[in-house]
Structure 1
Amino acid sequence: MHMDWQDLIAGLQEPLKQMRAGSSDVMRHFSGMAQSALKTGALDTKTKELVALAIGVAIRCDDCIAFHAKAAFQNGATREEVLETLGMAVYMGAGPSVMYASHAIEAYDQFAGGSQEHKG
């Protein structure tokens, strides 16, 4: 295992709590924007989480990868859907996205409760 993605999220809880306390107005609006963006419309929440995961890979944000890999799993994304999404992220982000795509599938596998054998 390269990184423990659940520990990464756990380690962010206190700093995020501090952000909510110190920038409550900004964070309240950010939370509202996230809730609005994730609301099912023409795209369901699972699809939106897959898009967010691809963007996290393309912009090379491990924290984004952790949160959106977990949310993709929780919203019913299969490993095959994640891998296809990561293929698009690689296509759009070239070589650096290949490296971060490996982070994203590892994160998804951990949140799905296992390893490469988990086929969703």
Structure 2
Amino acid sequence: MLDWLQYRKELLGRIGEIGKLSPDTVKGYQTLTDAGQKTGHLDAKTRELISLAVAVTTRCDGCITVHVGEALKHGATREEIAEALGVAVAMNAGAALVFSARAMDAVHEHSGS
């Protein structure tokens, strides 16, 4: 398995390098990240659990290690994390079902029936 803590450290270092080469790119990302926090409608733990579920559905290891750390920092339990991951699994299955219906629609149109 991956050494998640070391990976996070290395990743953040590389992102720091990108920030030096292209500061507006990283600033733009940070602006997006900060925008949702300003509304105050969701607490930090909930935002991190959502972020983690999205990280899983988008298959982003970097996002996973960052948002696991942040979720734990904001008090998420292993059980809450597992439940959020269950939502990610259901969403992936749901998306596969929806796109299966689209594929069958394409079959219908291609076959003329």
Contact 1:39 / 1:45 at 8 angstroms: preserved in 2? no
- What secondary structure sits across from 2:5 in the alignment? helix
Q: Deviations over 1:11-40 (max 9, x none)?
A: 113211111011111211211221222346
**Runs (5+) with no aligned partner, structure 2:** 94-113
* Identity between Structure 1 and Structure 2 (%): 40
Q: Following superposition, which runs of at least 4 residues in structure 1 exceed 4 angstroms of deviation? A: none
Which structure 2 residues correspond to residues 1-120 of structure 1 after superposition, within 5 A? 2-39=1-38, 41-94=40-93
- Tell me the SS of whatever aligns to 1:72: helix
Please identify which structure carries the higher helix content. 2
Q: Secondary structure at the match of 2:2?
A: coil
Helix, strand or coil: the match of 2:89? helix
Cα deviations by residue, 1:89-109 (Å, 9 ceiling, x for unpaired): 000113xxxxxxxxxxxxxxx
Q: Please, what is the CA RMSD of the aligned residues? A: 1.3
Unaligned runs of 5+ in 1: 95-120
User: Larger RCO: Structure 1 or Structure 2 (Cα < 8 Å, ≥ 6 residues apart)?
Assistant: 1
| Alignment partners' CA distance in 1, 2:83 and 2:47 | 14
Amino acid in structure 1 at the alignment position of 2:75: G
8 Å Cα contact 1:50-1:85 kept in structure 2: yes
Could you list the per-position Cα deviations for residues 41-86 of structure 1 after superposition, in whole angstroms to 9, with x for gaps in the alignment? 2211110100000000011111110000001001111111101101
- Give the Cα–Cα distance (whole angstroms) in 2 for the partners of residues 73 and 81 of structure 1: 10
For normalisation by structure 1, the TM-score amounts to 0.72
